[in-house]
Structures are given as C-alpha cells and as structure tokens.
Amino acid sequence: MPSTLAFGVRAFDSNILVETACPDAFNALQRYIFPSLPRIDVASASPSISICVERVADRFELSVDDVRVTSTTNIESLALAAIKALDEVVIERLTTLRAVHAGAVLFDRQALLLPGISHAGKSSLVAELLRRGATYLSDEYALIDAEGRVHPYPRPLLLRNGNPVQSPVLPEELNSRFAVNAVPVGWILELAYQPNCTWSAAEVPQGEGVMMLLRNTPHALAESPHMLNLFMRAVSGARCYAGHRADAEQAVDHIFALLGISDKRLSPA
C-alpha cells in the first residue's frame, strides 16, 4: 500500500491540507497551490479545507472536503481544477479581508487594479504587465483589508495562450515574482476588452472607482455592510479610469503612458 504524502498551507483564514499517495500529483499540487505561502505542520494543523487525490487506474480523482471535483488523466488539468476549487472555498471563508474580481500588479509600491468579471481578459493583461516588469499580486482577486490596502492572492496565473483550455503559469515564468506585502491602491482601471478597438480611457471620480469594486465583488453588500468603508478607503488615494482596450501588448503601452511610466521598467516591490 503506497504511503500517503501530505502538506499543509495557511491561506488567509483557512488551513488547507493536501493528501495523496501519488508522487506526481503531490509534486504538481506543491508547485501550484499557493506556492509562495509557507507550508505548515500537517500534524498540528486543524484543516478547514481538505484536498485529496486518489490514483485510480490511469486517472486522478480530486476531492475537496469529500466532494468529488474532477476525474482526469492529465496532471495539469488536475492542478487547474484544484486551483479553481480553492478559489471558491478560500474566498468564501474570508473574515476580515474582502475580495474583488480584479487583476492586480504592483509597481512604485502601489497596486494597479484591473477589475472585471471572469473571462474578461484580466489574466492576459496581467501577464503582459509582468513581462514588462510588474510584480504579481493576482490575476483573479484583489484582497482588500480594513485600511484599504491590497494583499497578494498568490495563486498561479491561469492563461490560455491561444488554447481553449487554461494552464497554470507561475510569475517567474514571466520574469516576475510574487508580491509579499499589502500595499495601497494607486490606480484602478476598468477596461472592457473589445477586439480591434481603439484604446480609450478617461479619468473618472473616485466614487465611480468604488462602484467598480462593488460591481466586481463576490460578497453581498447586505451581508458585509462594512465592505463599503473598506472600498472607500482603498479608493481614497487612487486615480480611477474607465474605458476599453484591444490586445494586451498595445494596452500596456497605453497604460504606461497613462500612468507616466516612460521607460517600461517598473520599480521593485
């Protein structure tokens, strides 16, 4: 009987326990489940989220909290399913932080937020910013604390790169790195993706910036009334823009011009 391999991760308000008897699955999940967060002692941790992978014939069977999530023959598909399943349960368990669907990168010790729904092209835009020198906060969630600062949500980017299926990509593969500290918001850009359009972005009042965050949070305001104050603090020092953009490479040129970054080299975090 193969021995069980296990590791634990403390992710915000959750203790995650990962168990499997399959070395390939173990290595993949070690690589892609919140890779920049420290591992915790599984013997002493009381898990709030349990991930289990069983190898059945040629398939990987993934369960989260004893609920079957996927069955696949592909190790990358296994990692992708685990990342997405954790997104849902970790965000649901947040207590003090509140999440916004947003790409988020760091430069000049401030966060640039790119709010937008899933499949809005956030990840491709974040990836291009990382290639050009930004530090990675998230391609899916910006986590905002009581002071209005943004915390890293350090999962891999999920990129299609011209393929119908997403693949997990670590920031170091894009010549970047994970951010480690909470930072204030410097800019909020809500850019709708429109193929072949001409770039357009206009500055909007901070009140509209708050609405951008509210439109893109998975939390219900009625259940988290203090969330409005968090978002108002987040926006208080930010410049806010709304508009539309086409492909990511040209959009980043315009973003740098808009924010006054002329040499396309961003300051370290």
Look up residue 223 and give its two tokens. Answer: 């259940």
- How many CB atoms sit inside 10 A of residue 223's CB? 7
What percent of the chain lies above the pLDDT cut of 90?
79
CA-closest candidate to residue 31, choices 47, 50, 11, 7:
7
Check residue 42 and give its pLDDT: 75
Check residue 229 and give its pLDDT: 95
Query: Which residue type sits at 255?
Result: I
User: What are the helix (H) ranges across 69-205?
Assistant: 75-92, 122-131
In whole angstroms, what is the distance from residue 176 CA to residue 107 CA? 12
Of 99-108, 172-181, 219-228, least confident by mean pLDDT is 219-228
Span 105-119, average pLDDT? 89
Look up residue 164 and give its two tokens. Answer: 């119908």
* pLDDT exceeds cutoff 50 at 1: no
For 36-61, the pLDDT digits (tens) are 998 988 766 688 999 999 999 899 99
Residues 6+ apart with CB under 8 A from 219: 98, 99, 227
pTM metric for this prediction = 0.92
Check residue 267 and give its pLDDT: 45
Q: Does 268 or 97 have the greater pLDDT score?
A: 97
In whole angstroms, what is the distance from residue 54 CA to residue 22 CA? 7
CA-closest candidate to residue 142, choices 175, 97, 86, 108:
97
In whole angstroms, what is the distance from residue 185 CA to residue 238 CA? 6
* pLDDT exceeds cutoff 50 at 268: no
Binned at pLDDT 50, 70 and 90, residue 2 comes out as low
Q: Say if residue 145 is exposed, middle or buried (CB neighbours under 10 Å; 0-12, 13-18, 19+).
A: middle
In whole angstroms, what is the distance from residue 117 CA to residue 133 CA? 24
* pLDDT exceeds cutoff 90 at 222: no
CA-closest candidate to residue 87, choices 56, 118, 113:
118
Q: Say if residue 188 is exposed, middle or buried (CB neighbours under 10 Å; 0-12, 13-18, 19+).
A: buried
DSSP 125-162: HHHHHHHTTPEEEESSEEEE-TTSPEEP--PPEEE-TT
* pLDDT exceeds cutoff 70 at 72: yes
Check residue 262 and give its pLDDT: 59
Check residue 45 and give its pLDDT: 66
In whole angstroms, what is the distance from residue 52 CA to residue 85 CA? 12
Look up residue 94 and give its two tokens. Answer: 């947040």
In whole angstroms, what is the distance from residue 156 CA to residue 108 CA? 22
For 234-246, the pLDDT digits (tens) are 999 999 999 999 9
Span 6-13, average pLDDT? 92
User: Left if phi > 0, otherwise alpha if psi is -120 to 50, otherwise beta: which for 141?
Assistant: beta
